[in-house]
C-alpha cells in the first residue's frame, strides 16, 4: 500500500503556546485513519496544519511524496486535499447547489463531464441534498449542513478527504448515518483522515488510529486494537464499551 500523507515531527504554536509537538503519522492510500483525543488535545490543529490553515514551526508534511509543508492552503485542493471543517462552514446565504459548485472551484477540469459525475455521486450519497438543491444552506438543519459540508469537499474530487468532527452536535441516529456514509465514501475509493470526539464510532470505522494527548501522539494501532485496549476504553469509550 502506498503512503499518501506523511506527517513528520510536526510542531505548531499559537503564539508562545505549543499546540502540537513532534507529531508523526502516516495515511496510506485507501485507508480511514482517525485521530482521537480529548478537547484541546491538538486534533483540529493537526487537521488545520495538514490543510495549510496553520503554519508549521518545525517538522514536515509530504503528500504523495511531495513536500507541502509551506504550500499555501489554496493550492492544496489542486493537489487532491479537501477538508470538511469543524463547524461545517457552509455558505449560509447560498443554495445547496451553489455550495457544491464552490467545492469544485479549484478544479482544473471544471468544464468536464467528471464534475457532473461527482455531483451525481454526492446526490447518491446524500439524497437529502438532491431533494433540497435549491434551498438556502442557512435554513437547513445541522445534520443537513454536515452532509453539505462533506459533499462540498467531495466536489473537489479529493485523493484525501479531511473530516473534522463530522458528528459534532448531531442526534445519535444522524451520527450513525454520517459514519455509514463516511465508510461508503472510503469504499468508493477516497482516502479519509478523520478527527472525531466520538471515539467509539471513529475506531469502529478506522483501519488505523492515533491518540493525541496534550499535543502529542501517545498511542497508535488498528482501530480494533485501540477499541479493545482497556486504557483506551477507560479514557475514551466510557469504560467497558
Model confidence over 11-62: pLDDT tens digits? 999 999 999 999 999 999 999 999 999 888 999 999 999 999 999 999 999 9
For residue 26, what are the β-bridge partners? Answer: 6
For residues 23 and 42, the answer to whether their CB atoms sit within 8 Å is: yes
Res 4: pLDDT = 97
Q: Which domain holds residue 42?
A: 1-78+195-241
Residue 61 located in a structural domain = yes
Query: Does residue 37 form part of some domain?
Result: yes
* 13 in Cβ contact with 19 (< 8 Å): yes
How far apart CA 106 and CA 91 sit, in angstroms, is: 16
Nearest to 165 by CA among 129, 126, 193: 193
Cell of 174: 444522524
Is there a domain that residue 56 lies in?
yes
Q: What share of the chain is helix, strand, coil (3-state, %, to 5)?
A: 40, 25, 35
Does 123 reside within a domain? no
Q: Assign residue 51 the CATH number of its domain.
A: 3.40.50.300
- pLDDT of 86 strictly over 70: yes
At 223, give phi and psi (nearest 5°).
-55, -45
pTM: 0.92
Residue 52 domain-assigned?
A: yes
In a domain, 234, yes or no: yes
Name the E strands within the chain. Answer: 3-14, 17-28, 32-36, 58-63, 66-67, 81-84, 160-164, 191-195, 208-213, 216-222
- Identify whether 188 is part of a domain: no
For residues 193 and 27, is the Cβ–Cβ distance under 8 A? Answer: yes
* H helix intervals, 19-95: 43-50, 76-79
Per the structure, the count of domains in the chain is: 1
Q: Is the pLDDT of residue 238 over 80?
A: no
Task: Give pLDDT tens digits for 149-184.
Answer: 999 999 999 999 999 999 888 888 889 999 999 999
Does the residue 89 lie in any domain? Answer: no
Look at residue 241 in the predicted model and tell me its pLDDT: 37
Amino acid at each position: 500500500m502506498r503512503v499518501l500523507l506523511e506527517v513528520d515531527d510536526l510542531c505548531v504554536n499559537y503564539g508562545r503556546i505549543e499546540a502540537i509537538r513532534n507529531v508523526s503519522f502516516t495515511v496510506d492510500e485507501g485507508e480511514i485513519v482517525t485521530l482521537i483525543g480529548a478537547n484541546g488535545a491538538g486534533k483540529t490543529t493537526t487537521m488545520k496544519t495538514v490543510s495549510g490553515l496553520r503554519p508549521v514551526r518545525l517538522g514536515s508534511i509530504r503528500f504523495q511524496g511531495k513536500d507541502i509543508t509551506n504550500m499555501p492552503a489554496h493550492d492544496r485542493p489542486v493537489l487532491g486535499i479537501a477538508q470538511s471543517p469543524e463547524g461545517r462552514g457552509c455558505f449560509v446565504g447560498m443554495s445547496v447547489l451553489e455550495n457544491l459548485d464552490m467545492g469544485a472551484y479549484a478544479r482544473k477540469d471544471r468544464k468536464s463531464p467528471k464534475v457532473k459525475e461527482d455531483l451525481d455521486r454526492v446526490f447518491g450519497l446524500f439524497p437529502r441534498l438532491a431533494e433540497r438543491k435549491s434551498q438556502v444552506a442557512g435554513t437547513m438543519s445541522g445534520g443537513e449542513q454536515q452532509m453539505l459540508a462533506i459533499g462540498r469537499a467531495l466536489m473537489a474530487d479529493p485523493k484525501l478527504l479531511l473530516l473534522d468532527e463530522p458528528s459534532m452536535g448531531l442526534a445519535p441516529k444522524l451520527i450513525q448515518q454520517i459514519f455509514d456514509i463516511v465508510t461508503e465514501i472510503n469504499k468508493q475509493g477516497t482516502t479519509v483522515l478523520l478527527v472525531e470526539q466520538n471515539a467509539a464510532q471513529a475506531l469502529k470505522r478506522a483501519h488505523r488510529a492515533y491518540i493525541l494527548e496534550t499535543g502529542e501522539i501517545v498511542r497508535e494501532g488498528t482501530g480494533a486494537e485501540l477499541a479493545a485496549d482497556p486504557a483506551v476504553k477507560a479514557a475514551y469509550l466510557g469504560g467497558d464499551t
